[in-house]
A = this chain, B = another copy of it.
Amino acid sequence: MGRPFTYSRTIHFPDTDAAGVVFFARYLSIVHEAYEESLAAAGLPLATFFADHGVVVPIAKSEASYLRPLLTGDRIEVELTPTRLSEHSFALEATLWKQISGTRKRAAVTRTEHVCIHSTTRERLALPDALATWVDAS
């Protein structure tokens, strides 16, 4: 049980919408980037799951609270905490921190549920060992 994985990123212009801030759905894309980076840091690039024929891990649910607007040029950090839900699923809790002059404040908190299934039959499968290890070690 270690510290949560942290992913740092700058907000770019294509992340924003005409209200001048990051569009709400985009927060979830950014969390997914952090999830990919966390897997890659553990030697588990997402691409390999697709190479493992028949195993996909789609997101079944998402929840998000949007607490602060994010603007072009903002520096953010995403902290991730995965939690095992069952043999074939896990939850991922994320906090997006916005850096504000030396301190940081929460810009959003999200929770996603990931379920391992067979890509064609859509039947539930046990998490691949490497993914299970990543979930349980975090």
For A34-59 the 0/1 string (1 means CB < 8 A from B) is 00110010000111001000001011
Q: Give the contacting residue for A62; candidates B16, B20, B24; CB below 8 A.
A: B24
**Dominant SS among interface residues on chain A:** mixed
User: Are B65 and A24 in touch, CB under 8 angstroms?
Assistant: no
Query: A20 contacts which chain B residues (CB < 8 A)?
Result: 18, 20, 50
Interface size class of A (residues with CB under 8 A): 35 or more
Q: How far is the CB of A97 from chain B (nearest CB, A)?
A: 18
> Known interface pairs A28-B28, A40-B73, A60-B66. Does A13 touch B23 (Cβ–Cβ under 8 Å)?
yes
Known contacts A60-B66, A62-B24, A66-B61; decide if A33 and B46 are in contact (CB<8 Å): no
On whether A10 and B61 interact (CB within 8 A), knowing A26-B25, A72-B46, the answer reads no
